């Protein structure tokens, strides 16, 4: 069977890219092992201004409108909300942060994203002050991926299978089993570190654990950022995370991370009472050395493509890069130099 693109992996990157290519009338098949992936564990947090110095995320003025439009299209198609916009309260830790924050308010480029500094907020502990941020949100990743999976199944373009690299034949023509794609696009997340064609890329994997719980009372409805984060899902349900572990790269949850996350939350939200922990998950984020994604064709095997390395900012970055990669594959439009894997040509 001849198709245009075989996509490996049905995480957020693979799912949104498949959606993009299908909208462009391309024949696509998605292969997935149907196991828990980092996208299903991730918070889907979208925060335009980050870091100790309150810096706008790279190209956020391009990325954010594209992401909002993209998720709105998916909301309209599936008749289900996925992009939940909520203000963020960032708790300032010291006077140095307070001064850096005040400096940003003088820059017109930040006016859309930073609302005000407030001395306190009900039920939230803060000794220095709180920055209220706008245009922050979270993506309901699990419902979105479930909706897209059902969509792919209805189109008969989803295959549950394990990919064994030795089954991929490059010559005389590209082939996996009975499928002959023009190109294979690897959207494998952290599994790409085992990919024989792309494993040389400088991934920096990070394990993160996240807790979902219900409270014994109605909770405040802002996203909290205090080194970790707190996301209200409804009047009593929330998620909090994430731990950060570069040493133990696995998907096993730990009591150490659980205690650390709950203790950290208790310090900033002391009146919160936890009724039940409904989920405790661990995922592996495919972050990269230069904090930019890995996108593009292999320098020696142009029939092989990678779309990966979005890390914690995937919900913000992936929609724009989907459009860019589709333009590159279909119309030969150049990719952004900051994401094109040819920046690491010497490693191949």
Sheet containing strand 45-46, edge to edge, reads 45-46, 137-139, 83-85
Structural domain includes residue 161: yes
Structural domain includes residue 212: yes
DSSP state of 93: -
Q: Which residue has the tokens 């890329």?
A: 201
Burial class of residue 309 in the structure, from the number of CB atoms within 10 Å of its CB (0-12 exposed, 13-18 middle, 19+ buried): buried
The string of pLDDT tens digits covering residues 187-197 is 999 999 999 99
| Inter-residue contact 26 to 5 (CB < 8 Å) | yes
The first and second tokens of residue 197, run together, are 């064609």
307/235 same-domain check: no
278/147 same-domain check: no
- Residue 279 parent element (H or E): strand 274-288
Task: Label the pairing between strands 180-186 and 203-215.
Answer: unpaired
213/253 same-domain check: yes
pLDDT of residue 127: 86
Q: Provide the number of structural domains found in the chain.
A: 2
DSSP state of 305: E
pLDDT of residue 246: 93
| Inter-residue contact 309 to 287 (CB < 8 Å) | yes
185/315 same-domain check: yes
Domain that holds residue 227: 204-288
303/282 same-domain check: no
Residue after which a domain boundary falls, among 245, 264, 288: 288
Structural domain includes residue 122: no
Structural domain includes residue 188: yes
217/272 same-domain check: yes
**247: domain CATH number?**
3.30.9.10
Residue after which a domain boundary falls, among 273, 288, 303: 288
| Inter-residue contact 243 to 208 (CB < 8 Å) | yes
Q: Which residues contact 215 (CB under 8 A, 6 or more apart)?
A: 236, 237, 238, 272, 273, 274, 275
| Inter-residue contact 101 to 131 (CB < 8 Å) | yes
In the chain, which stretches have pLDDT less than 70?
36-40
299/192 same-domain check: yes
Structural domain includes residue 59: no
Residue after which a domain boundary falls, among 238, 264, 288: 288
Task: Label the pairing between strands 137-139 and 158-160.
Answer: unpaired
164/234 same-domain check: no
210/279 same-domain check: yes
**172: domain CATH number?**
3.50.50.60
Mapped onto helix, strand or coil, the DSSP state of residue 240 is strand
Backbone φ, ψ for residue 325 (5° rounding)? -70, -40
Structural domain includes residue 147: yes
pLDDT of residue 40: 66
Q: What is the pTM of this model?
A: 0.95
pLDDT of residue 64: 97
pLDDT of residue 43: 80
pLDDT of residue 38: 66
């Amino acid at each position: 069977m001849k198709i245009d693109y075989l996509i490996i992996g049905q995480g957020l990157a693979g799912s949104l890219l498949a959606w993009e290519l299908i909208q462009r009338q391309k024949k696509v098949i998605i292969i997935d092992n149907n196991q828990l992936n980092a996208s299903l564990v991730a918070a889907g947090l979208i925060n335009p201004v980050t870091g100790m110095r309150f810096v706008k995320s790279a190209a956020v003025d391009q990325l954010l409108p594209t992401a909002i439009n993209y998720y709105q299209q998916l909301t309209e198609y599936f008749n289900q909300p996925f992009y939940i916009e909520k203000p963020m309260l960032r708790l300032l830790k010291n006077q140095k942060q307070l001064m850096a924050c005040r400096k940003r308010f003088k820059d017109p480029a930040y006016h859309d994203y930073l609302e005000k500094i407030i001395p306190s907020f009900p039920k939230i502990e803060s000794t220095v002050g709180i920055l209220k941020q706008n245009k922050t949100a979270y993506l309901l990743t699990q419902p979105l991926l479930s909706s897209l999976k059902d969509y792919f199944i209805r189109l008969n373009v989803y295959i549950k299978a394990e990919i064994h690299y030795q089954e991929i034949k490059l010559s005389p023509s590209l082939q996996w089993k009975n499928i002959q794609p023009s190109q294979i696009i690897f959207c494998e997340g952290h599994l790409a570190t085992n990919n024989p064609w792309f494993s040389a890329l400088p991934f920096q994997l990070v394990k993160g654990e996240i807790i979902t719980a219900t409270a014994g009372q109605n909770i405040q409805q802002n996203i909290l950022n205090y080194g970790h984060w707190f996301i209200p899902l409804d009047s009593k349900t929330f998620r909090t995370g994430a731990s950060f572990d570069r040493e133990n790269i696995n998907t096993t949850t730990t009591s150490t991370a659980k205690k650390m996350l709950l203790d950290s939350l208790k310090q900033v939200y002391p009146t919160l009472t936890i009724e039940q922990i409904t989920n405790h998950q661990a995922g592996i984020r495919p972050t990269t050395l230069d904090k930019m994604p890995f996108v593009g064709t292999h320098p020696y095997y142009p029939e092989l493509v990678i779309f990966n390395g979005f890390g914690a900012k995937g919900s913000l970055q992936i929609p724009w890069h989907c459009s860019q990669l589709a333009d590159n594959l279909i119309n030969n439009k150049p990719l952004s130099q900051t994401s094109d894997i040819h920046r690491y040509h010497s490693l191949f």
